[in-house]
Chain A
Amino acid sequence: MLPGFGLTLGCTVTYLSLILLLPLAALCAQAASLTWAQFVETLAEPRVLAALRLSLGASALAAAIDCVFGSIVAWTLVRYDFPGRRLADALVDLPFALPTAVSGIALTAVYAPNGWIGSLLAPLGWQVAFRPAGIVLALAFIGLPFVVRTLQPAIADLERGLEEAAASLGASRTRTLVAVVAPGLLPALLTGFALAFARAVGEYGSVVFISGNMPLETEIAALLVVTKLEQYDYAGASAIAVAMLVLSFAALILVHAAQRLASRRAGSAVR
Chain B
Amino acid sequence: MSVHAERLTKTFGATRALDSVSIEVESGSLVALLGPSGSGKTTLLRVLAGLEFADPASGPILFDGEDVARLSVRERRVGFVFQHYALFKHLSVFENVAFGLRARPRRTRPPRAEIRRRVGELLERVQLQDLGERLPSQLSGGQRQRVALARALAIEPRVLLLDEPFGALDAQVRTELRRWLVRLHEDLHFTSLFVTHDQAEAMEVADRVAILEQGRVAQVGTPEEIYYAPATEFVASFLGEANRFQGAMDATHVAFGPWRMPIPEDAPRGAGPVRVYLRPQDVEVERPEASSPASTPARIVRLHAAGPAVRLELALSDGTPLWVEISQRRQAALALREGARVGVHPRAWRTYR
Q: What is the interface of chain A, defined by CB distance below 8 A to chain B? A: 159, 161-162, 164-172, 175, 179-180, 183-184, 265-268
Contacts and interface: CB of A to CB of B under 8 A. Distances in A.
Contacts of A266: 89-90
A158 to B, nearest CB: 11
Nearest to A165: B86
Given A159-B84, A164-B82, 12 more contacts: A165-B80, A165-B88, A167-B51, A168-B74, A169-B100, A169-B154, A170-B77, A170-B104, A172-B74, A172-B103, A180-B88, A268-B89
Given A267-B135, A268-B137, A167 B88 contact: no
Contacts of B279: none
A8 B135 CA distance: 37
B278 to A, nearest CB: 43
Contacts of A164: 51, 73, 80, 82, 86
B49 interface: yes
Nearest to B151: A169
Nearest to B88: A180
14 contacts: A161-B86, A164-B51, A165-B82, A165-B86, A167-B74, A168-B49, A168-B152, A169-B154, A169-B155, A170-B77, A170-B103, A170-B155, A171-B103, A266-B89
B49 to A, nearest CB: 6
B136 interface: yes
Contacts of A162: 86, 88
Interface of B is mostly: loop
Interface in B150-164: 151-152, 154-155
Name, among A162, A164, A170, the residue most crowded by chain B CB atoms within 10 Å (CB to CB): A170
Contacts of B77: 170
Interface string B78-98: 111010101111100000000
A164 B50 CA distance: 10
Nearest to B104: A170
Nearest to B163: A161
Contacts of B86: 159, 161-162, 164-165
A171 B154 CA distance: 13
A170 B152 CA distance: 11
B227 interface: no
A168 B77 CA distance: 7
B156 to A, nearest CB: 11
B314 to A, nearest CB: 48
B323 interface: no
Given A166-B99, A168-B49, A161 B84 contact: yes
Given A168-B51, A169-B100, A170-B100, A184 B90 contact: yes
A168 B89 contact: no
Name, among A164, A165, A180, A267, the residue most crowded by chain B CB atoms within 10 Å (CB to CB): A165
B72 interface: yes
A90 to B, nearest CB: 27
B83 to A, nearest CB: 8
Contacts of B73: 164, 167-168
Contacts of A179: 88, 99, 103
Contacts of A267: 89-90, 135-137
Given A167-B73, A267-B137, A183 B90 contact: yes
Contacts of B155: 169-170
Ordered nearest first, which 10 A-B pairs have the shortest CB separation?
A: A161-B86, A169-B100, A267-B89, A267-B137, A171-B103, A168-B80, A183-B90, A165-B86, A161-B82, A265-B90
Nearest to B136: A267
Nearest to A186: B90
Contacts of B84: 159, 161
Nearest to A171: B103
A161 B136 CA distance: 15
B141 to A, nearest CB: 14
Nearest to B100: A169
A190 to B, nearest CB: 14
B103 A175 contact: yes
Interface in B48-89: 49-51, 72-74, 77-80, 82, 84, 86-89
A167 B72 CA distance: 9
A170 B156 CA distance: 11
Interface string B101-113: 0011000000000
Nearest to B76: A168
A230 B127 CA distance: 73
A166 B90 CA distance: 14
Nearest to B135: A267
A14 B173 CA distance: 51
A266 B88 CA distance: 9
Given A183-B90, A267-B137, A169 B99 contact: yes
Contacts of B100: 169-171
Nearest to A167: B73
A172 to B, nearest CB: 7
Contacts of B148: 165
A82 to B, nearest CB: 18
A265 B136 CA distance: 10
Nearest to B138: A267
A72 B86 CA distance: 24
